[in-house]
Structure 1
Amino acid sequence: MTPALLLSLVLAQSDAPSLHYTAFIEEEAGPRTLESYDFTKWEPAEGKVNLFVGVDEANLRQTPAADAAVVTTLPLGAAVRVVARGKDRLKVGEYVNHWYSVEYVDTKGTPDAKDDQTFKGWLFGNTLTPFRFEADFDGDGEKEVATVVMSNDFKIRVRIMEPKAKPTRRVTSVDVMPAGQSYLNVDGGPVVARLIPAKTAGVTLLQLDSKPDACSDFKSTYVSYEVPENKKGVLGKAKNALDVAGLSDPPNVSSYEVTFQPGPKELTVVHSRTEEDEAGKVQKSKERQRYGFRDGVYAELKAEPPATAETQP
């Protein structure tokens, strides 16, 4: 592998897991009803884990009701199997979703299956996610757990947990705006998440790609996690390290490529643009920007030479 690994934009594909939560903007479409929400629906899985708990200390309920008795409490990242989806979409708190019957196996951290304990109950759909990552985000030699969900105010929410920290102070979160909201007249949007390992970027990152259907906007956001002085068992802070945005609205097109330099913890973003002026002439340009990683974010290092332009009839 070369020191600089070129990463082209990776967007949602038909075989890749994704997550979305949207609703029409209230001022434009009138008061929201249950049917005005659109969200990811999960299907039952036969004999296998297919989702994860995206919030910490989620209450597994005996029945599909917010005030039902609690079977057990599940930690961030707990693996569950969907058994069934409740028929009706409902509003619980500030979320609209379905209740799901799920199965959770508590292994108690032991390899002996005889010690496993199986729990069955109900979770509301907003607590579930296909995105769970376990990695050493802060470089202290111990792995953290990260999940990606949609917040009740239609943002992409990344949570990162220090498993050895105290339960009340073991999770940090950061919110990211999805792309395409103004174009589609909605709040919210989709997200596809993947892990960028430290050997690629010099620091472990989460890459969040947002590209709504039938929309010109798209973007990638990189999320970092750092602990002061890399102290083990101490909760750090998740941060939005960098946003990169593009547009596909021919003849106006803007795309980007990101190249990581892991040694110095730097990256380069190359923006390619095609624009049509009022006279119908098409101009093409490229702009290169360099960023250095410091205190959990990427800051531009220096201005690059002026972009070159090419004019076509």
Structure 2
Amino acid sequence: MTPALLLSLVLTQSPELELHYTATSLQEGADPAKRALDSYDFTQFEPSGKTEHLYVGVDEANLRQTAAADGAVVTTLPLGAAVRVLERAPERLKVGEYVNHWYHVEYVDPQGNKVLTGWLFGNTLTPFRFEGDFDNDGEQEVATVVMSNDFKIRVRVLEPNVKPPRRVSSVDIVPAGQAYMSVDGGAAKVTLVPAKTAGLALVQVDSAPEACSDYSTTYVSYTVPGNKKGVLGKAKLALEVSGLSDPPNISSYKVTFQPKQQGLTVVRTNSEEDESGKEVKTTERTKYKLADGVFSEVKASGAMAETKP
């Protein structure tokens, strides 16, 4: 594979970097529109230096002259456009179905010929932006990750050579712990698995709520039938695995890719106490095969048990 086909990470990310969006869970039948603004918690961005950027996580985002949903449009920004935060408006507001702040940002066009400033609502911004040949067609796609208004983790992939509005495919991921927490939503940490590691480029999304012992890893793929150029493909959930960290009950996993075989192996280790208080640990190995951007289970080994006093 040539260097042009290898996935490149545009943003240098620290392990602590994450994006979150939550709100207190409503009672059954309650009207979401009446949820108090202070019940929301979300990532807040600070003014950045000249070399520090955030990215537009939606396509065709309106950069506005004022911090208002009806403000005049300065320009329209594509998914993945880099912006620099100049100021965060102090008041949290509800715009559409989102609660967030307005941000005064600076945008420089890709040619570096024009510098524009304006306002973007916070839900359109993300620290996660990746560029690479996701579908192995020889062209570079752009992927971003944002939180949706219904508290899911949304991965979007854009085909730059397809005209809007039909040039983006998206897929949603449910954050871990939703069945046991008193809040909707959660946090996401995102990395890229390059094609040389997995057989195809994957967006890896890790979800591990602080208030819950559940955690998960989800891989998202993007494929185009026949690897045709200039055609919008489909973002897919390639694989989802989950674990538990609630001593003495622990369920962990390790994913190992076999790119030459177009597959992967998940080794899951479960640990719990029996009635006598002894630790019982079991290990299970499951093989998966890649087809059309999705890893499907092909073989699971029998569980191997080990008991410790």
TM over 0.5: yes
Within the candidate set 164, 168, 173, 1:167 is matched to 164
Paired residue type of 2:26? E
1:49·1:79 contact (CA, 8 Å) conserved in 2? no
Q: Report the CA distance between 1:278 and its aligned residue.
A: 4.2
- State the match for 1:245 in structure 2: 242
Q: Which aligned pairs between 1:1-313 and structure 2 lie closer than 5 A?
A: 15-27=15-27, 32-108=35-111, 113=112, 116-304=113-301, 306-313=302-309
Question: Gapped runs of 5+ residues in structure 2?
Answer: 1-12
Q: Give the count of matched residue pairs.
A: 294
Q: Report the CA distance between 1:217 and its aligned residue.
A: 0.8
Q: Report the CA distance between 1:16 and its aligned residue.
A: 2.9
In structure 2, what is the Cα distance between the partners aligned to 1:278 and 1:37?
42
1:199·1:262 contact (CA, 8 Å) conserved in 2? yes
In structure 2, what is the Cα distance between the partners aligned to 1:14 and 1:139?
27
1:101-122 deviation line (CA, Å, top 9, x unaligned): 00000134xxxx4xx1011000
SS of 1:27 mapped into structure 2: coil
Paired residue type of 2:258? Q
TM-score, scaled relative to structure 2: 0.92
TM-score, scaled relative to structure 1: 0.91
1:167-212 deviation line (CA, Å, top 9, x unaligned): 1211000000111223321110000111111100011111000111
2:104·2:119 contact (CA, 8 Å) conserved in 1? yes
Question: Gapped runs of 5+ residues in structure 1?
Answer: 1-12
SS of 1:301 mapped into structure 2: strand
In structure 1, what is the Cα distance between the partners aligned to 2:182 and 2:268?
26
- State the match for 2:4 in structure 1: none
2:252·2:269 contact (CA, 8 Å) conserved in 1? yes
- State the match for 2:6 in structure 1: none
Identity of aligned residues (%): 67
Q: Report the CA distance between 1:281 and its aligned residue.
A: 3.4
1:255·1:271 contact (CA, 8 Å) conserved in 2? yes
1:15-74 deviation line (CA, Å, top 9, x unaligned): 53210000111118x752000000000000122342000000000010000011000000
SS of 1:290 mapped into structure 2: strand
Q: Report the CA distance between 1:277 and its aligned residue.
A: 3.4
The higher-RCO structure (CA 8 Å, 6+ apart) is 1
In structure 1, what is the Cα distance between the partners aligned to 2:110 and 2:252?
46
2:208·2:215 contact (CA, 8 Å) conserved in 1? yes
Give runs of ≥4 in structure 1 deviating > 6 Å: none
Paired residue type of 1:186? V
In structure 1, what is the Cα distance between the partners aligned to 2:14 and 2:77?
30
